Amino acid sequence: MDGESGGAKSDSNRRTSPAAFFLGFLREPGQVGSVIPSSRFLEQRIVDASDLATARRVVELGPGTGGTTRTFLQHLGQDARLLSIELSPFFHELLDEIADPRFTNHLGSAEELADILALHDMEQPDVVISGIPFSKMPKPVATRVAQAVKDNLAEGGRFIAYQFRQDVARITNPIMGAPAACALEMLNIPPMRVYRWSKVAAG
């Protein structure tokens, strides 16, 4: 952990345990794509795909218990900001345990991304990372989320989605074009695809 958030390290280990994640799955199975938290191998693949070291404004959709969130904070610069948007009140409460001045924890829907950014006085993000299961969302909702990501990303920004199924590509490709990259991380339960889209300047 970095120095600013190291004080919550012992609590972080408890909160991101498989038991805490599984409890969240039992409470709200429709909002969780897996019963096991992301592995460190998957987290590193997401970090690499996102190019987090160069990012100044990052949005995480569906952070769950916050294991990925803490990893992202370790790789972000001291002048960066990380905004999480979590629909589950149970997970949102766990995320409140993260004590880092760069981090903002918001309870709400990714569909309202524009309003949430404005509420927290945050400019268009360089990176949006999504762990929300597109396969479990109604298609109209998933489409609105993908459109909100495109509309609010900065030009040249990256949309990273890690998913078990390929629904996210079927939803996002018509909106943002084919992904610039897609990799399968086998050292995760279950194996996850990590997609990367880039927002190109209009015209």
Q: Give the model confidence (pLDDT) of 55-99 as tens digits.
A: 999 999 999 889 999 999 999 999 999 999 999 998 999 999 999
Q: At residue 45, does pLDDT exceed 50?
A: yes
Q: Looking at the chain, how many residues does it have? A: 203
- Binned at pLDDT 50, 70 and 90, residue 21 comes out as very low
Cα distance between residue 112 and residue 149, in whole Å: 10
Question: What does the pLDDT read at residue 22?
Answer: 45
Nearest to 130 by CA among 175, 84, 96: 84
Q: At residue 138, does pLDDT exceed 60?
A: yes
pTM for the model: 0.84
Domains and CATH numbers, the chain: 6-198 (3.40.50.150)
pLDDT (average), residues 17-21: 51
Tokens of 9: 């390290």
Q: At residue 27, does pLDDT exceed 60?
A: no
Q: Which sign, positive or negative, has the C-alpha torsion 66, 98, 13, 54? A: positive
Question: What does the pLDDT read at residue 8?
Answer: 33
According to DSSP, the residues that pair with 104 across neighbouring strands are 83
- Binned at pLDDT 50, 70 and 90, residue 13 comes out as very low
Q: At residue 101, does pLDDT exceed 80?
A: yes
Pairing of strands 181-185, 192-198: antiparallel
Peptide bond just before 29 cis, omega within 30 deg: no
Cα distance between residue 98 and residue 95, in whole Å: 6
Q: Which sign, positive or negative, has the C-alpha torsion 123, 128, 134, 139? A: positive
